[in-house]
Amino acid sequence: MSDLLSLTAAQQAELLESGELSPVEAFDFWRERAAGDDLGSYLWVADQAPDDAGGLPPVAVKDLFCVEGVPSGAASRILEGYRPPYTATSVRNLRAAGAAVLGKTNQDEFAMGSSNENSGYGPVQNPWDRTRVPGGSSGGSAAAVAAGTAPWAIGTDTGGSIRQPAALCGIVGLKPTYGAVSRYGMIAFASSLDQCGPLTRDVTDAALLFGHLVGRDPCDSTSLDYPEQLQRPRAERLDGLRFGVWGLEEEGLDRGVADVVRGTLGTIEALGGGVEVIELPNARQGLAAYYVIAPAEASANLARYDGVRYGPRTGDGDLTEMYEQTRRDGFGDEVKRRIMIGTYALSSGYYEAYYGTAQKVRTRIAEDLKAAFERVDFVVTPTSPTVAFELGERTADPLAMYLSDYFTVPMPLAGLPAVSIPCGLSEGLPVGFQIAGPAFSEGRILDAAHALEKAIGFEGVPVT
């Protein structure tokens, strides 16, 4: 049974399908692995296989997905003890396909962060080096998959929260096209950016999980029917495909990371692909626009946590005082910072100067990417400017933390899909390679990623 650890989720699905492995056996194996996690990856682990466990191995789910009767609090103290009366559509879809919920994974509070250090329940350690962060905000999902305490996981990405932790933990993370996966039942951070997607050991697992997540949902009016049938990625060559490289000359990019990424560009050429440098003239403003738009939307979304509807309440006298005390005690510092920035940016007199300008920049970035995709098939970049940093290294400097998102924010601002795959090591730590494409090009992105993955032959962190 311990050889389940050496199998990908897709390989386990085949054994489940053929009956060589029973759903209960698979669930119990992974339940034991998850319960033994000592990195802080989980906030809750299921105790027994549900009746509908079936054809897919169980899945670890980021805490912000509502699961009926199961603690679901976006790792915030303000939702301590909240057990939703319903289940997120993405999780329902996975369950309908036979994947049981294995556990709820740790994350940055309300998905605000790049290191998992903003969790209300403590940080997560990177399985490659326990003194380092796993990335964020889906840090628990990434660490669990990398350390073999989950066969696969889902997370959410608003500005990089699937791709960056996948990169820092040496696994695959896919941020889908906006609208490909329903957001119903995801505790909202920034609704025009949030998307659910897979964190997996390899590209084939990402395609398999993604195929079960997509689809229009009447409960999310921004969701769409996926326009094509998704196939299992099989490509081994990149002949005729054009890759536009962005950002390799950026100042803040770590040299070791740049070298590994350059090596991957060489691999693309060896597989028959073409590589050219492209300009995205407005993408450098991506961070500035993102850190106005995301907090603005968050300040509105988080207004509902008032001590009345959900979670704990502090103070019982005056109503306003009760709201203030509940929010003061329940929210962490980063969440308060975002609410203040967002409220300020939306306030009368500043609205046009900040929010309006940020929206214009967002449109320009979308136009840059559209123009790029007239010349090339994919835009490629490093996923993160550095490898996993030390726990505590950036907590005192929010701006340094925000720089982690430099390469990942343009795509969600434009609603476009992108994957991060591991492409090598720098200082003994994984480096992620990002491949972005036009809307609904996940099939082609994953195919290209598959060919590269095979040629790179990255070995994950040894797990026992």
Q: Which is nearer to ligand GLN, 208 or 418 (CB)?
A: 418
d(C-alpha 90, C-alpha 182), whole Å: 6
Q: Rounded to the nearest whole angstrom, what is the least distance from the CB of residue 154 to ligand GLN in the complex?
A: 13
Q: With binding defined as CB under 6 A, does residue 149 bind ligand GLN? A: no
Q: Residue 118 is encoded by which pair of tokens?
A: 């903003």
Rounded distance between C-alpha atoms, residue 413 and residue 286, angstroms: 8
Q: How many residues bind ligand GLN (CB under 6 A)?
A: 13
Question: Does residue number 452 form part of the binding site for ligand GLN (CB under 6 A)?
Answer: no
How many other C-beta atoms can be found within 10 angstroms of the C-beta atom of residue 440? 18
Instruction: Write down the least CB distance from residue 236 to ligand GLN, Å.
Output: 32
- Closer by beta carbon to ligand GLN, 211 or else 295: 295
* Residues 217-256 close enough to bind ligand GLN by CB under 6 A: none
DSSP string across 91-153? HHHHHHTTPPEEEEE--SGGG--SSSTT-TT----BTTBTTB---SSSHHHHHHHHTTSSS-E
Is 159 one of the binding residues for ligand GLN (CB under 6 A)?
yes
Q: Which member of 168, 294, 365, 421 binds ligand GLN (CB under 6 A)?
A: 294
Task: Say if residue 256 is exposed, middle or buried (CB neighbours under 10 Å; 0-12, 13-18, 19+).
Answer: middle
Q: Among 62, 90, 182, 223, which one carries the catalytic annotation?
A: 62
Q: Closest CB to ligand GLN among 197 and 430?
A: 197
- Is position 179 an interface residue for ligand GLN (rule: CB under 6 A)? no
- Return the DSSP state at 176: P
Of the candidate spans 29-37, 105-113, 240-248, 253-261, the one that interacts with ligand GLN by CB under 6 A turns out to be 105-113
Task: Give the separation between CA 77 and CA 73, rounded to whole angstroms.
Answer: 8
**Distant-in-sequence, close-in-space partners of 341: CB < 8 Å, separation ≥ 6:** 291, 292, 295, 296, 299
- For the question of residue 161 being annotated catalytic, the response is yes
Q: Which of 202, 368, 405, 453 binds ligand GLN (CB under 6 A)?
A: 405
Candidate ranges 156-164, 227-235, 307-315, 418-426; the one touching ligand GLN (CB under 6 A):
156-164
Q: Which of 76, 87, 89, 114 binds ligand GLN (CB under 6 A)?
A: 114
- What is the rounded CA–CA span in Å between residue 114 and residue 94? 26
The distance of closest approach from Cβ of residue 112 to ligand GLN in the complex, given in angstroms and rounded to an integer, is 5
- Tokens 């996993």 locate to 388
Does 137 qualify as catalytic in the annotation? yes
Regarding 386 and contact with ligand GLN (CB under 6 A), the answer is no
Q: 3-state DSSP helix/strand/coil percent for the chain, to nearest 5? A: 40, 15, 45
Nearest to ligand GLN of 91, 193 (CB atom):
193
Contact between 66 and 88 under an 8 Å Cβ cutoff? The reply is: yes
Q: Is 62 a catalytic residue?
A: yes
In one-letter notation, the amino acid at residue 360 is K
Instruction: Give min distance, CB of 405 to ligand GLN, in A.
Output: 5
Which residue lies nearer to ligand GLN by CB, 12 or 384? 384
Please compute, for residue 43, the number of CA atoms within 13 A of its CA located in the half-sphere on the CB side: 33
Contact with ligand GLN (CB under 6 A): which of 157, 202, 220, 368? 157
Neighbouring C-beta atoms of residue 15, cutoff 10 Å = 16
112 sits near ligand GLN (criterion: CB under 6 A): yes
Q: Which is nearer to ligand GLN, 40 or 173 (CB)?
A: 173
How would you list the strands of the sheet with 42-45, edge to edge?
Answer: 42-45, 101-105, 59-62, 153-157, 195-200, 172-175, 418-426, 429-436, 378-382, 242-245, 274-277
When binding is defined by CB under 6 A, the residue of 40, 58, 84, 113 that contacts ligand GLN is: 113
Give residues with Cβ within 8 angstroms of 80, minimum separation 6: 73, 120, 311, 312, 330
Dist CA 325 CA 329 (whole Å)? 6
Q: Is 189 among the residues that bind ligand GLN (CB under 6 A)?
A: yes
Q: How many residues does the chain have?
A: 464
The interface region with ligand GLN, picked from 7-15, 152-160, 228-236, 254-262 by CB under 6 A, is 152-160
Q: Which residue is nearest to ligand GLN (CB)?
A: 161
Q: Which of 76, 90, 161, 299 is catalytic?
A: 161
425: DSSP letter: E
We find the least distance from the C-beta atom of residue 97 to ligand GLN, in angstroms, to be 25
- Contact flag: residue 137 with ligand GLN (CB under 6 A): yes
Catalytic residue among 115, 137, 420, 441: 137
Q: Which CB, 12 or 386, lies closer to ligand GLN?
A: 386
93 touching ligand GLN, by CB under 6 A:
no
Residue 217 or 405: the one with the smaller Cβ distance to ligand GLN is 405
Q: For tokens 């009016």, what's the residue?
A: 221
Cβ-based neighbour number of residue 153 at 10 Å: 31
Residue from 9, 26, 111, 203 in contact with ligand GLN (CB under 6 A) = 111
Among the residue ranges 95-103, 106-114, 303-311, 374-382, the one whose residues contact ligand GLN (CB under 6 A): 106-114
Residue in the block written with tokens 């991957």: 264
Interaction site with ligand GLN (CB under 6 A)? 111-114, 137, 157-161, 189, 294, 405
Show which residues are catalytic: 62, 137, 161
